Chains A and B, each alone.
Chain A
Amino acid sequence: MHGNKLLLICLAAGAAFAQHTFTSGDIEDGAVLYRGTCLGCHGPDGNLVPGIDLAHGKFKRATNDDQVIAIIRNGVPGTAMPPSNVTEFQASTILAYLHSIGNTGAGPAGAGDPARGKAIFEGKGGCMSCHRVRGQGSRSGPDLSDIGAFRRAPELEKSIVDPDAEILPQNRSVRVVMKDGAAYSGRLMNEDTFNVMILDSKDQLRALPRSEMKEFTFIDKSPMPSYQGRLTAQEIADLVSYLGTLKGVAVN
């Protein structure tokens, strides 16, 4: 996934970029930029602003990629679309990322039922024994309260059937053994030259001094099992559909 394999994604039109081929690394950079800059308004699928579907080439003003790149950089005066300080090439990687998600389809979510998915999440799936949503559930896995706000349905599905495929850096687990034999595992919260800060498996925040440490290792494998075969395709679709509704804590 992190290789530099050339992908066949080319921008559809526009003189400057028509011949450019983007590496998976470029597209990943575009994804990071998209999530940091654009996702807040346009959503994980690029279709949150009415009348605009970024992944499927539906725009209000632009008719070709060059114009989209110009809008990404300059914004649209008088609207909520602000200018940004990305370079022309960075803007093109955002566009390449959008093309890439446009090609993956909507995934199974369209066929899912969020209410049934919620029941699976809280019941049969046993998801809350590791995950937390709005204060309910365990903290050992990632908090999913706003997962639907920044993960797309195909990505959610992938994480359910192949949890090892991608573990976000902030969700990494570590194992620490101290010189006195005490062992801790948990989520890495912060680290510096002298300390490692974790939320351990007993939900205790701990600052562990490196000077008293014998062992410090990242746990590469996700502790989450694959749900392929554990849940039916329909149940996975339901679950994905439910996760897609989790957009963070609403003001009430």
Chain B
Amino acid sequence: MKKSILLLGIAACAWGQVSFDRILNAAREPQNWLTYSGAFASQRHSSLSQITSANVRNLEQQWVFQARSLEKFEATPLVVDGILYTVQPPNDIVALDAATGRIFWIYNYSPSTEARPCCGRVNRGLAILGDTLFMGTIDAHLIAVDAKTGRPIWNREVAKAASGYALTHAPLIVKDKVIVGTAGGEFGIRGFIAAFDTKTGKEVWRFHNIPEPGEPGHETWKNDGWMHGGGSVWVTGSYDPDTNLTFWGIGNPGPDWNGDPRPGDNLYTDSVVALDGDTGKLKWYYQFSPHDEFDYDSVQIPVLADMPWKGRPRKVMLWANRNGLMYVLDRTSGEFLQGKPFVEVNWMNGFDEKGRPMRVAGKVPSREGTLISPGNQGGTNWYSPSYSARTGLFYIPTWGDYQSIYTKNDVEYEEGRNYGGGRPRSNVNLARAPLNLRKDGEGFGAIRAMDPVTGERKWEFRMADVTDAGILTTDSDLLFSGGREGFFYALDARDGNLLWKAALGGPIQSGPITYAVNGRQYVAVNAGSALFVYALRQ
């Protein structure tokens, strides 16, 4: 690996250049964190193993970065050769020394006041290629910034903020392109995924998440529902170099809770799409929740794994969906292999032979209200899961015993306004704190370790409050995660035993990462408005 970095350095005459080849082979340089989920397979798993179950109790805080913002801090940092890059909400890029936490530079961006994100002015992180960082902004711009100096290079308006479009996820690099998808599913947008030339910012291809007349899939939209069909994107996709396919999860149809204006399956909402990395052409899709009325965005991380499946090796995709089911798909063809609930599910009761869910009669939003499991925030949501090939387990940030009562009402589209058509009421008070209003049967947070082959739960780590935290696993069979209570945990990935915890005093609303500088392993996680970094006591 050192040799290849040296060669790269000579070729590019600059230190710290992140070639596409380096991102492809990110697993070979576990001291860095080069893309949102750590590598293109999005397992959020690291081969670093200096921190073990035997010494994890010696973790000690090394430094803290206090964001100059009290908004939700959801960014996953990137780490490149000792420099850590993160995004202070809403859209300031910060470059820090990864060992000391001292700041090199801050790029300040003031989003347009027309930006109207549904759920906070959040940003989930950056992409890097060469020595250029890429950030999507809350007012739907894509911006290229020099990773050495923080100076902007280009600024592309991807979509109209005033119509409800936003960019909240970390972009994905595929070869010489940077790919983003648009958020705004609560505003009757028509979502899309688009690739831009990393040098110029010029749009290279665009995939319509909601097909227009003449495009395949358009027939799944009756009336004019497609025009404001939603289909947003707000977490980063994955990439499989063997097939040159990039996989993206697509969000709910609009309006969210009243499907009457949009009869049909409403492709490609609540689906995963497999797009050619060069052209954006659809290779296959699988729709998790046809004609959704429960806000079951399929905006989760597509986790790619190669594993034995019923006696033969198979290239699969693992997907823990907001709709409460854990899926295994063949990622080369999109073939449905298996779907099993990982939480209580009452809206469906099985699959037909093609993998289409069979609906339970009467389980739809109604004027008087209908109780549905899982509830509106889902069995899981955008929080990154993790897969460890060592344990063979798929780890899911979970909301258990969680339901909503869905009521529907009439709705008409108005540009830039909320386009919901109903109201879910949930048994989890989303603003709750302290927990003294708790009722019987109220939802809880958990980390659930699932066997993806059998669909069985191997263990569970249960929290009193719910969780918005992602999960990191390592080759030393450690699992790092947290929750809304503000605890940061290290668990034994094999059995879920709690090995270490720190009280960080603010909700953990991002996925932890690990990296190394000068041979020392660090673990980093956001809590509240700050980024906390740990390493073993020296």
Contact = CB atoms under 8 A, between A and B. Distances in A.
Contacts of A204: 15-16
Interface residues of B, number: 29
Query: Which one of A139, A192, A202, A249 has the highest number of Cβ atoms from chain B below 10 Å of its Cβ?
Result: A249
A31 B330 CA distance: 65
Contacts of B105: 189-190
B355 interface: no
A199 B146 CA distance: 12
A199 B82 CA distance: 13
Interface in B139-170: 141, 144, 146, 148-149, 151-157
Given A189-B104, A197-B103, A134 B15 contact: no
A190 B16 CA distance: 20
A87 B416 CA distance: 42
A134 B104 contact: no
Interface string B113-153: 00000000000000000011000000001001010110111
A250 B141 CA distance: 12
Interface in A225-252: 248-252
A184 to B, nearest CB: 12
A252 B201 contact: yes
B333 interface: no
B154 A190 contact: no
Given A132-B151, A189-B105, A190-B103, 15 more contacts: A134-B153, A134-B154, A143-B146, A143-B151, A145-B151, A190-B104, A194-B100, A195-B97, A203-B16, A204-B16, A205-B83, A205-B148, A249-B155, A251-B156, A252-B154
A227 to B, nearest CB: 24
26 contacts: A132-B146, A134-B154, A135-B132, A143-B149, A190-B104, A192-B102, A197-B97, A197-B102, A197-B103, A199-B104, A202-B14, A202-B15, A203-B15, A203-B131, A203-B148, A204-B15, A205-B82, A205-B83, A205-B97, A205-B104, A205-B148, A248-B152, A249-B154, A251-B141, A251-B156, A252-B201
Contacts of A250: 155
B144 A135 contact: yes
Nearest to B131: A203
A190 B94 CA distance: 13
Interface in A195-209: 195, 197, 199, 202-205, 207
A13 B153 CA distance: 45
A149 B154 CA distance: 16
B469 interface: no
Nearest to B14: A203
A81 B94 CA distance: 32
Contacts of A202: 14-15
Contacts of A207: 97, 99-100, 102, 104
B148 A139 contact: yes
B95 interface: yes
B156 A139 contact: no
Contacts, number: 73
Interface of B: 14-16, 82-83, 95, 97, 99-100, 102-105, 131-132, 141, 144, 146, 148-149, 151-157, 199, 201
Interface of A: 132, 134-135, 139, 143, 145, 189-190, 192, 194-195, 197, 199, 202-205, 207, 248-252
Contacts of A139: 146, 148-149
Nearest to B201: A252
Contacts of B97: 195, 197, 205, 207
Given A134-B153, A203-B148, A252-B155, A197 B15 contact: no
Contacts of B151: 132, 143, 145
Contacts of B82: 205
A202 B13 CA distance: 8
Given A139-B149, A145-B151, A252 B16 contact: no
B318 to A, nearest CB: 37
A21 to B, nearest CB: 38
A249 B152 CA distance: 7
Query: Which one of B14, B16, B104, B201 has the highest number of Cβ atoms from chain A below 10 Å of its Cβ?
Result: B104
Contacts of A195: 97, 100, 102
Nearest to B12: A203
B149 to A, nearest CB: 6
Query: Which one of A134, A135, A199, A250 has the highest number of Cβ atoms from chain B below 10 Å of its Cβ?
Result: A135
A106 B190 CA distance: 50
A112 to B, nearest CB: 25
A143 B104 CA distance: 16
Contact of A205 (B95, B132, B144, B201): B95
A202 B17 CA distance: 12
A197 B104 contact: yes
B153 A249 contact: yes
Nearest to A195: B102
Query: Which one of B141, B148, B152, B201 has the highest number of Cβ atoms from chain A below 10 Å of its Cβ?
Result: B148
Contact of B156 (A190, A203, A248, A252): A252
Contact of B155 (A197, A205, A251): A251
Closest 9 CB pairs of A and B: A135-B153, A207-B97, A249-B152, A204-B15, A143-B151, A189-B104, A251-B155, A203-B14, A205-B104
A38 B155 CA distance: 24
Nearest to A145: B151
